[in-house]
Structure 1
Amino acid sequence: MEFLFALAIFLVAFLGLAAGLMLTGRPPQGSCGGLACVGGGACEVCPRKSAENGEEKDG
């Protein structure tokens, strides 16, 4: 019974996240901007990383 309850909670959370993505029409976005910040490696173009290092990012 506990398994079904936990499964139901996960399904509701999953469906809520999916509905939010579909209703907003935007792609998923992580802390570094998702696909908007595609670069050549580990978040090299991330504006947050640049701000933490004290650098200004043009763009």
Structure 2
Amino acid sequence: MSTFIATFVVLMVFFLLMSVGYLVKKKAVEGSCGGLGVLGIEKACDCDDPCDKRKRRMAKEEERNEKLAKNRII
């Protein structure tokens, strides 16, 4: 039982450190390979003309980002 508790505590410490790192850097956790950006792909859907569903989602994201930028305190 003590091994389980020690493992749980260590795991929670790592989660705490990762969350503090996110709050300080304002940067999402990403893989070591760099993801799709390394390949020159700006988005997961790399089509020239996105479908209507993708266009609506992109519009919502843009609207949300504008609201966040407008209401940002810092």
What is the identity percentage for the equivalent residue pairs of Structure 1 and Structure 2? Answer: 28
Secondary structure in 2 aligned to 1:26?
coil
Aligned pair count reads 39
Distance 1:34 1:28, change over 3 A: farther
C-alpha separation in 1, matches of 2:20 and 2:12: 12
Q: TM-score, normalised by structure 2?
A: 0.42
Instruction: Extract unaligned runs of 5+ from structure 2.
Output: 41-74
Counterpart residue number, 1:33: 34
Distance 1:4 1:34, change over 3 A: same
Asked which structure has the greater RCO (Cα within 8 Å, sep 6+), the reply is 1
**Higher fraction of helix:** 2
Please give the root-mean-square deviation of Cα atoms over the aligned residues, in Å. Answer: 2.2
Instruction: Extract unaligned runs of 5+ from structure 1.
Output: 38-42, 47-59
4+ residue runs of structure 1 moved beyond 4 angstroms? none
C-alpha separation in 1, matches of 2:6 and 2:20: 21
| Larger radius of gyration between Structure 1 and Structure 2 | 2
Would the aligned equivalents of 1:21 and 1:27 in 2 still touch at CA under 8 Å? Answer: yes
C-alpha separation in 2, matches of 1:28 and 1:34: 11
**Match for 1:24: what amino acid?**
K
Counterpart residue number, 2:3: 2
Q: CA deviation at 1:32?
A: 3.0
